[in-house]
Amino acid sequence: MTAIRLALVALLAAALALFAFANWKPVAVLLWPGLELVLPLPLLLFAILALVYVPMSLLFNAQRLLLRRKITRLEETLARTETELSQARVELLRPPAATPPAATAPPGA
């Protein structure tokens, strides 16, 4: 699986390099009236990709961290509950303690 992923990444990198080489033309982007940014097309696409990828990556990693913490907390709760359950089973299966027979007073005493 890793080899397939590596091959796909290498193929994508080669395609992007070929695209960048073939389209290295300046592109004008109008940001605001009177403010124009002129960049080569591959750099503009890379900047857009970075603007999308970085926040989404941060969000994904934050969610993963929160889920790991939640899983750890749930596993700890499960372990505590299993311990309490096993102790309750021991208490339920333990025979009741023998109670001494009640001493009856002799008649006429």
Strands (E), the chain: 26-32, 35-40
pLDDT for the residue 105: 65
In angstroms, the first-to-last Cα distance of the chain is 93
pLDDT for the residue 78: 97
pLDDT for the residue 103: 64
Q: Is the pTM of this model over 0.75?
A: no
pLDDT for the residue 51: 94
pLDDT for the residue 92: 85
Low-confidence ranges of the chain (pLDDT < 70): 100-103, 105-106, 108-109
pLDDT for the residue 93: 83
Using alpha carbons, select from 79, 75, 55 the residue that is nearest to residue 67. Answer: 75
Please check whether residue 28 is in contact with residue 38, taking contact to mean a CB–CB distance below 8 angstroms.
yes
Domain extents for the chain? Answer: 8-93
